[in-house]
Copies of this chain bind each other. A is one copy, B any other.
Amino acid sequence: MDFKSRLLEKAVESLSSLPGIGKRTALRLVLNLLKKDKNTVENFGKSFIDLVNNIKYCNECHAISETELCNICLDQRRDHTQICVVEDIRVMLAIESTMQYKGVYHVLGGLISPMDGIGPDDLKIDDLINKVNTNNIKEVIFALSTTMEGDTTNFYLFKKLSKKNIKISSIARGISIGDELEYTDKITLATALSSRLPYENSLTK
């Protein structure tokens, strides 16, 4: 596309560099921005510059935080012997919204993905091992996506942690609440069958 303006082209390129946003959508969004007042658009741009220059991560769990330690890691009412391993802050926010988990988190910052050139060294894995070695950790819970990358990362972590004297668990894989069995895919159904629980333990919370 010939955008008739280098400035317009650059703004469109910026937005379309984001996953799931193509050039056409980006152009629509940029033209929408241009209908807003100058200040709003300046603040729009500034919010990303501020973010990248001042963002902080919790020293303990590596979640995005305003302070050296995040609110969850600072909270002494939470169980610091139980660590839930998540891919990024989105999963952490999702789990927090269930209000069922009282332990702490460890944010890996991604999943092992050889296809994308992401290896164990690109993630906060060593730091997790150190935590288990030095702190008094009783359980590590894997809460990673049920994808190839999630499974690879689960397996890698399990190999690293299996000899330590801790409980290692993974969140349950099975039928989503509300799903009808006849429409469930074969792999999920087979996993749900083999992971069956005593009835009294299987009730929806």
Q: Which A residues have a C-beta under 8 Å from some C-beta of B? A: 1-8, 10-11, 13-14, 17-21, 24-25, 27-35, 38, 40-56, 63-66, 70-71, 88-90, 93, 96-97, 110
| CB atoms of A46 and B45 under 8 A apart | yes
B48 with A32: CB separation less than 8 A: no
- Identical copies in the complex: 2
In order of increasing CB-CB distance, the 5 nearest A-B pairs are A45-B48, A41-B52, A45-B49, A45-B45, A14-B47
> Within the assembled complex, what's the spacing in Å between the Cα atoms of A16 and B88?
19
- Which residue of the partner chain B has the closest CB to A109? B35
Closest B residue by C-beta to A54? B7
Across the interface, do A65 and B110 meet the contact criterion of CB distance under 8 Å? no
A51 near B8 (CB under 8 angstroms)? yes
CB of A2 within 8 A of CB of B93, answer yes
Cβ–Cβ < 8 Å partners of A51 in chain B: 7-8, 10-11, 30, 33-34, 41
CB–CB B42/A52 < 8 A: yes
Q: Which of B25, B45, B50, B93 contacts A1 (CB 8 A)?
A: B93
Asked whether A34 lies within 8 Å of B52 as measured between CB atoms, the reply is yes
A32 near B19: Cβ-Cβ < 8 Å: yes
A49 close to B41 (CB less than 8 A): yes
